[in-house]
Chains A and B, each alone.
Chain A
Amino acid sequence: MTLSLPMEEFTKPSTSEATPPVGVRLTEQQLRARRARSIAIALALGAFVIVVFLVTIVRLGSNLATRPM
């Protein structure tokens, strides 16, 4: 999905306090979708860390206690 925007919209915002900040403004729907995606990525990464941790423990097994100090 593409959108044509005038170049001016991408120019640096004016320093004047009266001018509102220029940039991409997300709609409510876009914000909600981004938040949901962010939470899903966080959960997936968390699950990945747990899996790696558990596999590491299983792989090390009793060798953890008998390793050379």
Chain B
Amino acid sequence: MSATLARVEPSIAGVGDYIELMKPRVMSLVVFTALVGMLIAPGHVHPVIGLAALICIAVGAGAAGALNMCYDADIDARMARTAGRPIPRGRITPGEAAGFGMTLAGFAIVSLGLLVNLVAAALLAFTIAFYAVIYTIWLKRSTPQNIVIGGAAGALPPVIGWAAATGSVAVEPILLFLIIFFWTPPHFWALSLYRVDDYARAGIPMLPVVAGDRETRRQIVLYTAILAPLGAVPWLLGYAGATYGLAALVLGAVMIALALRLRAEQRGQAASRQMFAFSILYLFLLFAMLLVDRMSGMAFGHFAAS
């Protein structure tokens, strides 16, 4: 009898490979924005409940990242930026990533529901499903609006944080959602401008691949023009104090200046790299200022409680 069996080689994946599968950099931004959503909410969250909620949100974000890497393994292997991920490198199989992601997602959602509240758990479940199914499976390979619509998944963590603290959703976290939602296109399109060859090779219809360099730069300016004033709306509506308002206006002005420089530069890469780097700093500082504002007793919770 000379039949052969194909079997999977025993795994050599280390703990670091699984951590990498959870996209730790994305996770850190998710945790930070969720923390801000939680801390600016009215009332008091017990630190233990808050910590449990943040762990569940972080694990949920990691689960979404693992499911994304599982489905995108083929295109990740064709892009220089992602070719070093655990699945393209052969450290983890797509099946292992899928099992890991589904297990983490189940744990995170059920734990958030049992330990914190059902509204936050439902929002987390929706976010993971939106990112893994709507964005990864459907939008990413089919439309240049992929990161515009898909950006909703990345914009939800502050809403989940708020829901974890209050058990409900209000106008304030929806404003934070909108800020991240309109921040996402300039952020990712700036990246895709200097990674356009990568995206083209992988067959992903990012805006620069489909509509060209010039149109992408124009749309970055448009979205930044919406984002900059939107960042100041929490202050204009009285949900945040003047310190935050001033910071939002200054940061927004810098974003607009960088976007205009990007449009003026046309085919170069320096401005797009700078725009991408500053956009991360922009979001971090904007949300950090909300926290500072809250700590000084002038933010959402203060106004909502009064």
Question: How many residues of B sit at the interface, in one of the four size bands?
Answer: 20 to 34
| 1/0 contact string of B3-43 vs chain A (CB within 8 Å) | 11111111111110010000000000000000000000000
Pairwise interchain contact A26-B10, C-beta atoms closer than 8 A: yes
| 1/0 contact string of A26-69 vs chain B (CB within 8 Å) | 10011001101101100000001001101101100000000000
Q: Provide the main secondary structure of the chain B interface.
A: mixed
The 8 Å CB contact of A3, one of B6, B48, B49, B90, is: B6
Asked if B178 lies at the interface with its beta carbon under 8 angstroms from chain A, I say no
Interface centre among A10, A26, A52, A54 (most CB of B within 10 A): A54
Pairwise interchain contact B115-A1, C-beta atoms closer than 8 A: no
A-B contact number at CB 8 A: 67
Which chain A residues border B115 with CB–CB below 8 Å? 51-52, 55
Which chain A residues border B7 with CB–CB below 8 Å? 2-3, 5
Shortest Cβ gap from B12 to chain A (Å)? 5
Which residue from chain B places its CB closest to the CB of A32 in the assembled complex? B14
Pairwise interchain contact B6-A6, C-beta atoms closer than 8 A: no
Please measure, in the bound complex, the distance between the C-alpha atom of A33 and the C-alpha atom of B86, giving whole angstroms: 14
Which residue from chain B places its CB closest to the CB of A11 in the assembled complex? B1
Shortest Cβ gap from A65 to chain B (Å)? 18
Besides A40-B18, A51-B111, A55-B49, 12 other A-B contacts (C-beta < 8 A): A1-B8, A2-B8, A3-B6, A6-B4, A7-B2, A36-B14, A37-B11, A37-B15, A51-B51, A54-B52, A55-B48, A57-B48
List residues of A whose CB falls within 8 A of some B CB. Answer: 1-8, 10, 24, 26, 29-30, 33-34, 36-37, 39-40, 48, 51-52, 54-55, 57-58
A-B contact pairs, 10 of them (CB 8 A): A4-B6, A5-B5, A24-B10, A30-B12, A33-B13, A36-B14, A40-B15, A51-B52, A52-B115, A54-B52
